[in-house]
Amino acid sequence: MSRYPLRTWMLAGALLGSLGLGCTEPEEPFPTTEELEKLQSLHTPSRKPPADPTNKYGDDPLAAALGNKLFNDPGLSSCGTVSCKSCHEGESGTVSTPKSLGCNGAVTGRNPPSVLGSSYSTWFMWDGRADRLWNQALLPLFSPIEMASSPAILRNRLTTRYAEEYKSVFGKLPSEESNDEQLQANFGKAIAAYERTLNRNEAPFDQDVLRFLGAVQEGKAEKDPAWLGLKTFLRKGQCILCHKGAMLSDDQFHNIGVADASDSRRGVAAAANAMLTWTFNSSGPYSDAPAGLESGRLQRLVSDLQLKPSELEGAYKTPTLRNVELTGPYMHTGDVKTLEDVVELYDKGGDVAGSYVGTLSQSIAPLDLTDEEKAALVKLLKSMTGAPKQ
Ligand code: HEC
Ligand code: HEC
């Protein structure tokens, strides 16, 4: 039995610690078993998007062919000049400006995300105001600052241009569809079937992760060229907490402190209620999912709104990092120009307090990265660009 009570020992320990005399633990070799599992989760051999039970036409090639035409058709807009492609173009699936231009020169409030690989998500728009890929398509179609269309324009266009193709997918002519909302849902489902084909192939990143996993087995992890980048991504950067799995996204909402003075800066906190009561949401009458299948996901959002509202204030969807070199500028505002700037933003732990609403996610704090670590992160991000699909 010690002569001194436990408290005294604890006090002595704390003192030694504060004097820097306590044992500073040597850093554990990278990766630990737990980290190894996270690294393994980044690699998936199959690049096929997960099935979408809410869209029974999602993998129908005829629906995708119709969707391709609709995606590229400016005749669906009221001004006659804007299609989905106008803002989601070419090899990046987006535009290279911070914002994008809709009908009559209107400017969007946010940066358009890429449509490449969007079929891996279940939430859409930076603030999650659509909860499936097919219902997302209705928002830009009818938004006054995007395609500014109307149910009448859509009906007219489907009837005059796509009647037979529509019938081959949905079983009746658009003119035989008495319910406008059904027509709109079908439009979205054809577009989504096309978007499910938009992706790029494996990236150098995938090979690097595989090779690194091999090097770990051989005890040569530290010599691998990807070592510092992956280590920083997992450890000091904590990036893996949110950018995880094959798409490098947790498909959830977080506040990382991106400066935003716009009216819509509350993110998901402001958008969720309209989505939850929306006729076209994934639990509504136009969803093909069996009753109840999607409600758990929506219910979780409802309880998050009730139980931890401050976490959703100013929170946005974690974007995929795949092809991120092609999709700049970055963040929901499009105000962060380069990947170097992104890394600087994380390094200082988000923008200055007061430039965004809400409180930062717990894991966002100054990182104190060295120049070498910053460069390794940027290199890692740039390696995530997939080869074009043949
Ligand atoms: C005027 C430019 C513009 C047009 C036209 C446009 N979009 Fe977008 N798109 C955007 C912007 C901006 C966002 C982000 C909006 C937000 O989050 O508030 C976006 C978001 C998206 C997303 C969400 C991606 C994600 O990961 O969350 C998809 C999918 C998408 N658009 C597909 C389409 C389709 C399909 C059409 C045609 C029906 C279309 N867009 C028309 C600008 C446009
Ligand atoms: C707490 C979760 C979280 C962590 C940790 C995190 N991110 Fe993010 N990341 C996000 C969210 C959410 C956004 C979008 C934020 C916004 O626009 O307001 C984002 C955006 C990005 C973007 C911009 C992508 C685009 O298309 O605009 C890049 C690049 C990025 N993160 C890389 C990283 C790196 C590198 C790290 C580690 C240093 C990291 N992230 C850590 C959640 C996170």
Query: For residues 96 and 226, is the Cβ–Cβ distance under 8 A?
Result: no
Residues 93, 233 within the same domain: no
Write down the pTM of the prediction.
0.93
Residue 296 lies inside a defined structural domain of this protein: no
Q: Is residue 12 part of a domain?
A: no
Angle between helices 204-217 and 227-234 (to 10 degrees): 90
Same domain, yes or no, for 353 and 324? yes
What region, left, alpha or beta, does residue 242 occupy, with left being phi > 0 and alpha being psi -120 to 50 degrees? Answer: alpha
Q: What residue's CA is closest to ligand 1, atom 10? A: 112
Both 154 and 252 in one domain: the answer is no
CA of 188 to the centre of ligand 2 (A): 28
Write out the E strands in the chain: 253-254, 316-317
Shared-domain flag, residues 148 and 82: yes
Count, residues in the chain? 390
Structure-token match 């090979």, residue found: 207
222 domain residue, yes or no: yes
Regarding the beta carbon of 239 and ligand 1, being less than 6 Å apart is answered no
Q: Which helix (H) or strand (E) holds 293?
A: none
Which amino acid is present at 194? Y
Q: Are residues 322 and 246 in the same domain?
A: yes
Same domain, 121 and 240: no
Note whether 346 and 237 are same-domain residues: yes
Closest ligand relative to 112 C-alpha: 1
Mutate to test the pocket of ligand 2, among 256, 260, 266, 336 (most ligand atoms within 8 A of CB): 256
147 and 242 in a single domain? The answer is no
271 lines ligand 1 (CB under 6 A): no
CATH number for the domain harbouring residue 360: 1.10.760.10
3-state secondary structure of 130: strand
Domain stops at, among 195, 222, 255: 195
Q: Which of 82, 115, 260, 332 to mutate to test the pocket of ligand 1 (most atoms within 8 A of CB)?
A: 115
Give the pLDDT score at 314: 98
The bound ligand whose nearest atom lies closest to the alpha carbon of 229 is: 2
The finding on whether 118 has its CB within 6 A of some atom of ligand 1 is yes
The secondary structure element, H or E, covering residue 306 is: helix 295-307
- Domain extent at residue 187: 61-195
Ligand 1 centroid from CA 8, angstroms: 62
Give residues (CB < 6 A) around ligand 2: 126, 237-239, 241-243, 254, 256, 258, 316, 318-319, 321, 324, 327, 330-332, 339, 342-343, 346, 361, 363-364, 377, 381
Q: Answer yes or no: do 226 and 133 share one domain.
A: no
Whether 9 is covered by a domain: the verdict is: no
How far apart are the C-alpha atoms of 318 and 341, rounded to whole Å?
17
Q: 40: CA distance to ligand 2 center in Å?
A: 20
Same domain, 237 and 349: yes
Instruction: Answer whether residue 305 is part of any domain.
Output: no
pLDDT of residue 389: 83
Asked if residue 13 belongs to a domain, the reply is no
Number of Cβ within 10 Å of residue 319's Cβ equals 22
Cβ contact 68:194 at 8 Å: yes
Cα–Cα distance for residue pair 243/318, rounded to 1 Å? 7
Looking at residue 249, its pLDDT comes to 96
- Flag whether 156 is in a domain: yes
Are residues 319 and 225 part of one domain? yes
154 lines ligand 1 (CB under 6 A): no
Specify the residue with its C-alpha closest to ligand 2, atom 36: 239
- DSSP single-letter state for residue 178: -
Interval between CA 319 and ligand 2 midpoint (Å): 7
Q: What is the pLDDT of residue 9?
A: 42
Which of 171, 195, 219 is the C-terminal boundary of a domain?
A: 195
Q: How far is the CA of 57 from the centre of ligand 1 (A)?
A: 21
User: Is 283 part of any domain?
Assistant: no
pLDDT in tens, the chain (390 residues): 344 444 444 444 444 444 444 456 788 999 999 999 999 999 876 678 999 999 999 999 999 999 999 999 999 999 999 999 999 999 999 999 999 999 999 999 999 999 999 999 999 999 999 999 999 999 999 999 999 999 999 999 999 999 999 999 999 999 999 999 999 999 999 999 999 999 988 999 999 999 999 999 999 999 999 999 999 999 999 999 999 999 999 999 999 999 999 999 999 999 999 999 999 999 999 999 998 999 999 999 999 999 999 999 999 999 999 999 999 999 999 999 999 999 999 999 999 999 999 999 999 999 999 999 999 999 999 999 999 886
Number of the ligand 1 atom closest to the C-alpha atom of 71: 37
Q: Is the CB of 136 under 6 A from ligand 1?
A: yes
Tally of structural domains, the chain: 2
Determine the pLDDT at residue 26. 84
- Alpha helices for 72-137 (secondary structure H): 84-87, 133-136
Would you call 348 exposed, middle or buried from its count of C-beta atoms within 10 A (0-12, 13-18, 19+)? Answer: middle
Which of 195, 220, 255 is the C-terminal boundary of a domain? 195
| Residues facing residue 336 across a β-bridge | 330
- Is 206 in the same domain as 324? yes
Give yes or no for residue 68 CB within 6 A of ligand 1.
no
Q: Is the CB of 112 under 6 A from ligand 1?
A: yes
